């Protein structure tokens, strides 16, 4: 399961970053996003099958639950087209944070591999740093996305 988890995470990072950088709402976005959702789903499923770290349900499984909820919450508005007035904005919010969570896990994984460093401190430092950068990116991009996809009467700017 570790190999499946590793390669699906790399694919999700690749496709998620690609989606973040391209125009939204077109066929390319929909295709690459589907690859992201598939890779994330495989990665998350395999994360629940991995117990080498503590041989029990642990902190990383809780992070996988949060990531699963973010991914599902990002897809429901697109699948249901609801709420009618801002489903695309809800989709973008949740999918953005799905990707930021993936980056948090990736950077935490790298930082914890530095020999002689305290494991949980490195997880906290790496995750917090990526989260703060994610907040800055969110505040930068959301006004543009809301102008393009939002209903200006019922969606307010978060920046």
- The CA distance from 69 to 143, in Å, is 24
Grade residue 157 by pLDDT with cuts at 50, 70 and 90: very low
pLDDT of residue 153: 52
Per-residue model confidence as pLDDT tens digits over 18-55: 999 998 889 999 999 999 999 999 999 988 777 565 56
Provide the whole-model pTM.
0.81
Per-residue model confidence as pLDDT tens digits over 102-149: 999 899 888 888 888 888 888 899 999 999 999 999 999 888 888 887
Indicate if the pLDDT at residue 152 is higher than 70: no
pLDDT of residue 155: 45
Q: What is the mean pLDDT of residues 43-70?
A: 77
Concatenating the DSSP letter of every residue in the chain gives -HHHHHHHHHHHHHHHHHHHHSPSSSHHHHHHHHHHHHHHHHHHHHHTT--TTTSS--HHHHHHHHHHHHHHHHHHHHHHT-STTTHHHHHHHHHHHHHHHHHHHHHHHHHHTSTT--HHHHHHHHHHHHHHHHHHHHHHHHHHHHHHHS-TTT-----
């Amino acid at each position: 399961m570790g190999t499946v988890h590793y390669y699906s995470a790399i694919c999700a990072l690749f496709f998620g970053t690609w989606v973040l950088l391209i125009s939204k709402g077109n066929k390319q976005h929909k295709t690459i996003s589907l690859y992201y959702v598939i890779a994330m789903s495989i990665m998350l499923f395999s994360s629940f099958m991995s117990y080498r770290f503590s041989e029990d349900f642990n902190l990383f499984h809780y992070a996988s639950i949060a990531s699963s909820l973010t991914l599902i919450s990002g897809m429901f508005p697109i699948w249901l087209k609801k709420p009618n007035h801002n489903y695309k904005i809800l989709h973008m919010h949740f999918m953005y944070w799905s990707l930021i969570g993936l980056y948090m896990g990736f950077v935490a994984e790298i930082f914890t591999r530095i020999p002689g460093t305290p494991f949980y401190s490195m997880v906290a430092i790496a995750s917090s740093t990526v989260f703060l950068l994610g907040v800055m990116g969110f505040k930068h991009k959301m006004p543009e996305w809301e102008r393009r996809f939002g209903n200006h009467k019922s969606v307010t700017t978060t920046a």
